[in-house]
Amino acid sequence: MSPNHVASDPTSSALPRRHPVGRGSLTGVGLVLAGVVSVQFASAFAASLFPRAGALGTVALRAAFAAVLLLVVTRPRLRGYSRADWVVVTGFGLALGGMNLLFYQAIDRIPLGAAVTVEVLGPLLLSVAVSRRAAGLLWAALALAGVCLLGRGDFGALSTTGVAFAVGAGAMWAAYIVLNARAGARFPRLDGLAIAMTVAALVSLPLGIGAAGGTLLEPRVLGLGLAIAVLGSGVPYTLELLALRRLPAATFAVLMSLAPAFAALAGYLVLGQGLTAQQCVAIALVVAASAGAVRQGES
């Protein structure tokens, strides 16, 4: 996830900018990397559940469990908000739900590493657009070159439909970043995220139930769904919040740019999706472009 982070906007002024360098910074780096690993391995485990519950059923379970966990932990206040606040948080929830639905459809058709590599183009292009610098076009070109190189390789015979779903997930991720920042300015603590996740669950559940039916109530499926929700939402949200107390926002965002590499590793270890040298180079190009665009935006 991929898509599924509390603070994915490297330009947000609400994030801390100055932190002392030292042991705390090293701890922060470890926390971010642990969160990224947790998200990507959760996605790999989710893909292993597809044969039983399907992509839509898996998304529904993850969103439902994540919403319940967030509602219990945050107990968001629902009174005192304007109509504009509710429009923003509802849009945030729709972007979050759409991002997960499209991403899980993508990894049902193409390898996890490829899906995340294509998906990350969304926030990368957003970062380039926000920076409004000509040099940003070079980072975008480098990322597109990486994706083209990835598509030329025999990476599980990439399907056009799977790539299209990944592109859509990337667009939803970009919308998620913008709406996340706006909701964060209108709702305290994690209240906005809890409400948005509830909206995402309400959108996902009918689709999941329609696709998987009673399979979603099987103990093993429920257990895996809960594990995916914890690994893909609960653990990384906590680790990222702790990391942001120790790291500058720019460093945090650059580390998050490593997601495609960790996704490829998770796909290899959990799903047996191998990598060629060409595919590794392609993923490295996208990671470098994403990190470079973030650093430029912060300078």
Residue whose C-alpha is closest to residue 100's, from 2, 198, 231: 2
User: CA 35 to CA 238: how far, in whole Å?
Assistant: 8
Query: Rounded mean pLDDT of 274-291?
Result: 78
Answer for the pair 245, 40: CB distance below 8 angstroms, yes or no: no
pLDDT in tens, 244-258: 677 776 667 677 778
pLDDT of res. 7: 40
Q: Does pLDDT of 63 surpass 70?
A: yes
Angle between helices 83-107 and 112-119 (to 10 degrees): 140
Query: Rounded mean pLDDT of 59-86?
Result: 92
Give the rounded percent of residues in the chain with a pLDDT score beyond 90.
Answer: 37
The residue with greater pLDDT, 282 or 65, is: 65
**Is 247 strand, coil or helix?**
coil
pLDDT of res. 53: 93
pLDDT in tens, 131-184: 666 666 777 777 777 777 766 655 556 788 999 999 999 999 888 888 888 888
Q: Does pLDDT of 83 surpass 80?
A: yes
pLDDT of res. 277: 81
What are the structure tokens assigned to 225, written together? 């769904």
Give the rounded percent of residues in the chain with a pLDDT score beyond 70.
Answer: 82
The residue with greater pLDDT, 186 or 278, is: 186
The residue with greater pLDDT, 11 or 111, is: 111
User: CA 52 to CA 248: how far, in whole Å?
Assistant: 42
pLDDT of res. 38: 92
Residue 6's pLDDT band (boundaries 50, 70, 90)? very low
What are the structure tokens assigned to 186, written together? 């209108």
pLDDT in tens, 178-213: 888 888 889 988 898 899 999 999 999 999 999 999
